[in-house]
Structure 1
Amino acid sequence: MADKNTPPTKTPPERRGGWLSRFAPGVRKIVSRRDTPDGLWVKDPDTGEMLYRPDLEAALWVTPSGRHMRIGASKRLGYTFDDGDYEKISSPEVEEDPLKFSDGKPYRERLAAARKAVGTRDVMSIGYGEIDGTPAVAIVQDFAFMGGSLGMAAGEGFIAAAQAAVARQVPMVCFTAAGGARMQEGALSLMQMARTTLAVQELKAAQLPFVVVLTDPTTGGVTASYAMLGDVHLAEPGALIGFAGPRVIEATIREKLPPGFQRAEYLEQKGMVDRVVTRADLPKTLGQVLSMLMDGKRRAA
């Protein structure tokens, strides 16, 4: 037994910090937290597990638990077109902040912040290329840009995509993701529901397929317009799809909603969605659908 009067033995500096430091004295400095790149790990929203970012990117941002995480427009277009090769189609510019709106922060400042964070002018991005061998125009709504809200720029982008499809005589694919109309544009935003609907009618008049891929989330005025006007409606697994949110509906009807209500799988069972397709399978599925529909157009001609 050690003498009470004996001073405690100090741990030599080279032995502090655990077994790894004893075998490789410089390793702590090499792998220190401050040397780890930011964003190298991503938290799984379902399980809380930390996922290695390169592995998640290789899985097209689908987690091991099956969650299809939200992705930006450039990734979506790259995943959709063959070999990630496509031609960008620009959207017309619109007047900014015509209502001089402020909700505690001027609308112009919110637009500037969104553009800086996302790297695009507005919510819509358009590309032209081949999807599993079939030429098509694809438009992607990016939820990261002000919640994918439908405003004048989004409406003009949708119309530009439809007109490009008609001019090239190819089908159009729309990837939706939105929280609804852009409140900072008031009635001008709501007008886009009618304008985009007319653009869909132009596609139908030209006998060109219009296919919608519903991604998480697709709600509000987008669901009440072009998101539900497709010839075929596909959806990613687990996507929230509806007009009002579940909490609003429960508060209104004062009843508990069924499990999975407004999710892609539930809506597939009810006939609102034609098929739920994983992200990895979307290009091939889209190619098959577009090829079949375009073959029908050629036969009709």
Structure 2
Amino acid sequence: MNDIRDLFPGRMRERAFQLKARRDTGAAWHEPQFVECKQCGRRATRQIWAKSLFVCPNCGNHQPIGAYYRLSLVLDSGSFRELDAELAPQDVLGFPGYPEKLSAQTQKTGLSEAAVAAVGRIGGVSVVAAVLDSRFFMGSMSTAVGEKITRAIEYAAAKKLPLVIFSASGGARMQEGIFSLMQMAKTSAAIERFSAKGGLYISVLTHPTTGGVTASFASLGDIMLAEPGALIGFAGPRVIEQTIGERLPEGFQRSEFQLEHGFVDKVVPRSELRATLIQLLQLHAGGRKTE
């Protein structure tokens, strides 16, 4: 009987996870049933978008997706266990209107912060996975986001698990000022300690990955992957053009440009990402599953 009862928490956790993943697709929040591609303007039903993993059926543009939905696409069924779910942002500077904006972001997305971290399995290999969700304050790095990413790294180091981080961010969160910028050094130092212990870190760059996130943990992966068409850089192309007074090359800072110039190791379509991660993780584990 004890063994049977022990199964229920896991089942309940998985059910809650799948409900959150479904909510991320817009299926549970009564959102418009037609979704328009941000690149080509083509419209399709939400069901068609879900079948294509929110990659445009017309032009192949990879739409930003929610954190729980992204994890549901790569983690083995039933293996998800969230880490530090209680961590929430703090108004460290008393910034005018910030608490109200945080409340509005939570109401809009169902998230308490822009990062979700979890332990799970990918192809039978136990991993720690963290995701930045661009729907919440553009995935900006607050003190809570920096703390959650740092704790995920330290958990992976303590348990001797590979680390996978999916980045999508506009950079540091201006409402937290210097405290937000400090997270760049904090997360980078945590990655350095993790690497010194021999840990494997796979960084997956999604659209967009910019600012302080690019300038810290997102760029420190042992293996650097990127989704097609993702904008990856520090300052955006418009800011650079205005600063230098010149037109930039076509596709500048996109993942394909970064691959050509050696910043990323491979550009991986969303439909192939789980298989690619399985191959890399099982190679790292010597072909052995760790479940």
| TM range, smaller chain | 0.7 to 0.9
Which of 183, 190, 198 is the aligned partner of 1:207?
198
> Which stretch shifts more, 130-139 or 233-242?
130-139
Counterparts of 1:252-263 in structure 2, within 5 Å, are: 252-263=243-254
Residue 95 of structure 1 deviates from its aligned partner by: 6.7
Counterparts of 1:151-300 in structure 2, within 5 Å, are: 151-295=142-286
Residue 94 of structure 1 deviates from its aligned partner by: 5.9
Unaligned stretches of 5+ residues in structure 2:
1-29
SS of match in other structure, 2:224: strand
Counterparts of 1:1-301 in structure 2, within 5 Å, are: 39-64=32-57, 65-83=59-77, 85-91=79-85, 93=87, 96-102=90-96, 106-295=97-286
Q: Deviations over 1:232-275 (max 9, x none)?
A: 10000000000000011111111110010000001100000100
Q: Deviations over 1:195-233 (max 9, x none)?
A: 001110121122110110000000000110001100010
- Who is 1:15 aligned against? none
Identity, % of aligned positions = 45
In the alignment, the residues of structure 2 paired with residue 94 and residue 198 of structure 1 have an alpha-carbon distance, to the nearest angstrom, of 22
Q: Deviations over 1:146-174 (max 9, x none)?
A: 01001100011001111221222110000
Letter matched to residue 122 of structure 2: I
| Structure-1-length-normalised TM-score | 0.82
What RMSD over aligned residues (CA atoms) do the two structures have, in Å?
1.6
In the alignment, the residues of structure 1 paired with residue 37 and residue 181 of structure 2 have an alpha-carbon distance, to the nearest angstrom, of 35
Letter matched to residue 87 of structure 1: R
Letter matched to residue 215 of structure 1: T
> Which stretch shifts more, 47-56 or 262-271?
47-56
**Residues 38 and 119 (structure 1 numbering): CA distance in 2 closer, same or farther, change over 3 Å?**
closer
Q: Report runs of 4+ in structure 1 exceeding 6 Å deviation.
A: none
Q: Deviations over 1:31-53 (max 9, x none)?
A: xxxxxx75111112222222011
**Residues 94 and 113 (structure 1 numbering): CA distance in 2 closer, same or farther, change over 3 Å?**
closer
Letter matched to residue 45 of structure 2: Y
Unaligned stretches of 5+ residues in structure 1:
1-36, 297-301
In the alignment, the residues of structure 2 paired with residue 209 and residue 291 of structure 1 have an alpha-carbon distance, to the nearest angstrom, of 12
Residue 92 of structure 1 deviates from its aligned partner by: 6.0
Structure ID, larger Rg: 1
SS of match in other structure, 2:39: coil
SS of match in other structure, 2:131: strand
- Who is 1:24 aligned against? none
In the alignment, the residues of structure 1 paired with residue 275 and residue 218 of structure 2 have an alpha-carbon distance, to the nearest angstrom, of 21
**Residues 133 and 95 (structure 1 numbering): CA distance in 2 closer, same or farther, change over 3 Å?**
closer
SS of match in other structure, 1:42: strand
In the alignment, the residues of structure 2 paired with residue 47 and residue 246 of structure 1 have an alpha-carbon distance, to the nearest angstrom, of 20
In the alignment, the residues of structure 1 paired with residue 116 and residue 124 of structure 2 have an alpha-carbon distance, to the nearest angstrom, of 21
**Residues 38 and 93 (structure 1 numbering): CA distance in 2 closer, same or farther, change over 3 Å?**
closer
